[in-house]
Amino acid sequence: MQKDAYTLILEAIDNGVYRPGDRLVEAELAERFGVSRTPVREALQRLETQSMLARDGRSLIVASLDHNQLAELYVVRAELEGLAARLAAKHATTEEVKVLADLIDADRAHLGDPVALSRANRRFHKQIHLASHNRYLVQQLELVHRSMALLATTSLAAEGRGETALAEHAAIVQAIAAGNGDAAQAALRAHISKAFETRLKLDAGAQRSIGDR
């Protein structure tokens, strides 16, 4: 099934081909994706409406999140992901739990590669969303994770965060496997909280480096 211009551009942003602040040019996008300019124009308008793109004069650029938006996003993410973990503890099949555990083992191969680990992390969280067996929750979490693509860096780039994150993933899966909804929700919310704390430290360090120039 052929992907439309909207999906192609969104995936390019999600995969880091276009980063926050990058300018998106209609003609260049049409050439890159091998589509006509009309669907590209419509896709850009849709992405702007969804706040994935922002205006910079007459140009459209990939949007970025300020401190307040970042905090708001993590609050919503923690609540929705925590709910997904709680529901997964109740509804996940034996096979789904096994897949989650296998993903953690496979993801250890990506330690030291923040970009690959970030992709693996998204797969892990997506699997929890699906294991909740609640289509409406999955849809809302897709919107949240779409906005996560507007973050220029991954918290997994912080030294030692990869190992810690995988240990946190293991605690989440253990609670889901045990059918303990309260523990699964608490473990996932703690995981998101730690990721947010790590990101704030990374951002503070970047600002300090700029100030030292």
| Domain edges within the chain | 5-62, 67-211
Which CATH code is given to the segment(s) 67-211? 1.20.120.530
Q: What is the pLDDT of residues 138-179, one digit of tens each?
A: 999 998 988 888 886 778 888 889 999 999 999 999 999 999
SS3 of 22, please? coil
Contact assessment for residue 110 and residue 122, using Cβ atoms and an 8 Å cutoff: no
Kindly indicate the confidence band of residue 206, based on its pLDDT and cuts at 50, 70 and 90: low
pLDDT at 210 over 50: no
- Across 13-162, where does the E strand assignment appear? 23-24, 53-56, 59-62
| Rounded CA separation 13/56 (Å) | 17
Q: What is the pTM of this model?
A: 0.83
Mean pLDDT taken over the chain: 91
Q: What is the pLDDT of residues 58-98, one digit of tens each?
A: 899 999 888 899 999 999 999 999 999 999 999 999 999 99
Residue length of the chain: 213
Which CATH code is given to the segment(s) 5-62? 1.10.10.10
pLDDT of residue 209: 45
